[in-house]
Amino acid sequence: MKLIYSAASPYARKARVTAIESGVGSELEFEDILPWEDPAGYRDVNPVGKVPALVRDDGLPLYQSNMVCEYLDSQGTTKLYPDPGPARWTALRQIAAADGILDASVVVRMEGMFHEDDTASTKLIDRQELSVNAALDQLEAEAGELNGPVTIGQVAVACALGYRDFRFAGIDWRASRPNLAAWFAVFAERPSMIETDPEA
């Protein structure tokens, strides 16, 4: 199998961390691309042109980070997706908050890239940052549920927080969220996080 990713993509990082944590990473070929350059043939793998994408040996390619993560988990020896029940709903809720942070953060970044200086929409940016902060506040209130064996929810949250540090280093999300910050300080030292750090 081949996992196609971009080192700067937090969605692809989520898949890469999942591959490592689930124990399937050694079975994968990794290909780093720049999706904005639309590499020849990539849209045959992923028609929407984003990363990550997983080229399987025995089936059609998979794309969209949560689908890729769940498939990788199904192939691994260490399961990150809890069995049906309360723990699974907690992990999926964490994914939802993390993906909300990422989606809003990427919108803000794109707005800054394509509408520079006074042409950027302050209204759009403020609304996205409101979503980011509300999701971060939820995760702070529920930080105790991030403890325990590694789950896909923890992976998603860690990748979202890592992306805020990577692209929004001037905005301090930690100051009013000590519990979330303390959890992330520990999780960020996992080998899977260090190996996939976009600034490494």
As a whole number, mean pLDDT of residues 144-158 equals 98
Q: Which two tokens stand for residue 62?
A: 């998979």
The model's pTM: 0.97
Per-residue model confidence as pLDDT tens digits over 88-130: 999 999 999 999 999 999 999 999 888 877 788 999 999 999 9
Kindly report which listed range (28-32, 114-118, 132-136, 137-141) carries the lowest average pLDDT score: 114-118
The reported pLDDT for the residue numbered 119 is 85
Per-residue model confidence as pLDDT tens digits over 48-91: 999 999 999 999 999 999 999 999 999 999 999 999 999 999 99
Domains and CATH numbers, the chain: 2-75 (3.40.30.10), 86-191 (1.20.1050.10)
CA-to-CA separations, 161 to 27, 61, 94, 177, 194, in angstroms, rounded: 27, 28, 12, 12, 14
Contact call for residues 61 and 46 (beta carbons, < 8 A)? yes
Work out the pLDDT band at 160, boundaries 50, 70, 90.
very high
Contact call for residues 155 and 18 (beta carbons, < 8 A)? yes
DSSP reduced 3-state for 80 = coil
DSSP reduced 3-state for 21 = helix
The reported pLDDT for the residue numbered 115 is 86
The reported pLDDT for the residue numbered 112 is 87
Percent of the chain at pLDDT > 70 equals 100
As a whole number, mean pLDDT of residues 160-183 equals 98
Work out the pLDDT band at 19, boundaries 50, 70, 90.
very high
Supply the mean pLDDT for the chain. 97
As a whole number, mean pLDDT of residues 140-148 equals 98
